[in-house]
Amino acid sequence: MILAINSAQRTHELALVQSNKVLLEKSWPDAKDDIEKLTPTLKGMLDELGLDKKEITQILVISGPGSFTSLRTGVAFANALAVGLNAKLYSLDTFELLRRKAALASPLLVILNAGGLDVAIRHEHETHIGHLSTLLGKFPHKKFSVVSECNETQEEELHGICLEKKWKQIKGHELQTLGETILTFNFHGLQPAKFVEPIYIKAPIITKSSNKWKQ
Q: Give pLDDT tens digits for 154-187.
A: 999 999 999 999 999 998 889 999 999 999 999 9
Q: Which fold has domain 2-94+177-206?
A: Nucleotidyltransferase; domain 5 (3.30.420)
Give the other-Cβ count within 10 Å of 140's Cβ.
7
**pLDDT given at position 206:** 47
For residue 210, pLDDT beyond 70: no
Query: 64-122 pLDDT, tens per residue?
Result: 999 999 999 999 999 999 999 999 999 999 999 999 999 987 799 999 999 888 999 99
202 pLDDT tier (thresholds 50, 70, 90): confident
- pLDDT value at 2 more than 90: yes
CA distances 158 to 113, 127, 135, 140, 153, Å, are 12, 17, 11, 15, 9
Domain boundaries, the chain: 2-94+177-206, 104-173
pLDDT, one tens digit per residue, over 17-73 is 998 999 999 999 998 888 899 999 999 999 999 999 999 999 999 999 999 999 999
Q: Are 46 and 53 in contact (CB under 8 A)?
A: yes
Burial class (CB in 10 A: 0-12, 13-18, 19+), 160: exposed
| Cα gap 198→214, rounded to integer Å | 23
Tell me the per-residue pLDDT of 122-150, one tens digit each, with 9 for 90 and over: 998 899 999 999 999 988 877 899 999 99
Whole-number pLDDT of residue 213: 52
